[in-house]
Amino acid sequence: MIRVCWNGCSFTVGEGFPAPLRDQYIYDRLVSKQFGLKSTNIAVGGSSNLEIFKRSAQAMLDNKYDIVVTQWSALNRLWLYPGPDSQFFVNDDRRPDFRYNDIYVNARDKKKLKETILLLNHDYHNILDLIKYCCILECMSVATNTSVIFVNGLVPWTEDLSCNFLHNNISNQLSDYTKSILDFDNRDDGEIIRFFENLQNNFKKLNQRHWVNIFSSMQSTSIDSGPEGHHPGAFSHQFMADKISEYLKRNQLQ
């Protein structure tokens, strides 16, 4: 029986559905049932890509799995640790305030802290970090004889990263998202070209064959919402399960 480890954020946990319904609706469980896989789900809601990377790397080192599926999350997520038994999720909107021992951050200050950190935590370098994580996992997959599969959960990068880039008509070649991370309106053409070509040169290091949906994130292709109204719903999970099933068949991994 093929052993598969599923890792990611709340999308892979199955948040949005009550726990008793997750076996029926969440994409990893749908795929596992279809192919009779022996599956382990190590996803944690709210995870940053750094946390996801560390868990996938450890899963490969554990040498217990034939396949490790890694669903990447939002680029700017950040976890802080006020103490040995406490975590502060910068992206957490569910708790209005935060308290740990003598530390207290009220709702207003927490909101301001979050906004400030997000301003300082820019997607450009987070993309470069994500590429490094992927490349390391690709190398580890060879060393541990483990197949690695990447799923785009919340990464907003766009196809211009993989297109031929000309130095004329720059504006017409870049997506609005790419322009935003390049600070397009405040830089001259030379700077834009230099920064964008650096992104492209790093992006070329990725092996796109490991990706199920490199540019079509689960968030952007979401068809419906789950019972709790925020995360992908049943049809969205089925859509992703079908995508992964097609990938497994195409690459003879089922």
Quick one: pLDDT at residue 213?
98
Name the pLDDT band for 253 (thresholds 50, 70, 90): confident
Output 216 or 89, whichever has higher pLDDT.
Answer: 216
Q: How many angstroms separate the CA atoms of 9 and 105, rounded? A: 25
Q: What predicted TM-score, i.e. pTM, was given to this entire model? A: 0.93
Look up the CATH architecture of domain 3-77+131-156+208-250: 3-Layer(aba) Sandwich (3.40)
Q: How many angstroms separate the CA atoms of 3 and 64, rounded? A: 7
DSSP 45: T
Residue type, 50: L
Cβ atoms 9, 47 nearer than 8 A: yes
Quick one: pLDDT at residue 114?
84
Q: Where are the domains of the chain?
A: 3-77+131-156+208-250, 79-120
Characterise 155 by phi-psi region: left (phi > 0), alpha (psi -120 to 50), beta (else).
beta
Q: What is the pLDDT of residues 122-136, one digit of tens each?
A: 899 999 999 999 999
Percent of the chain clearing pLDDT 90 (strictly above): 77
Mean per-residue pLDDT, 190-199: 96
Q: How many angstroms from the chain centroid is the CA of residue 63? A: 23
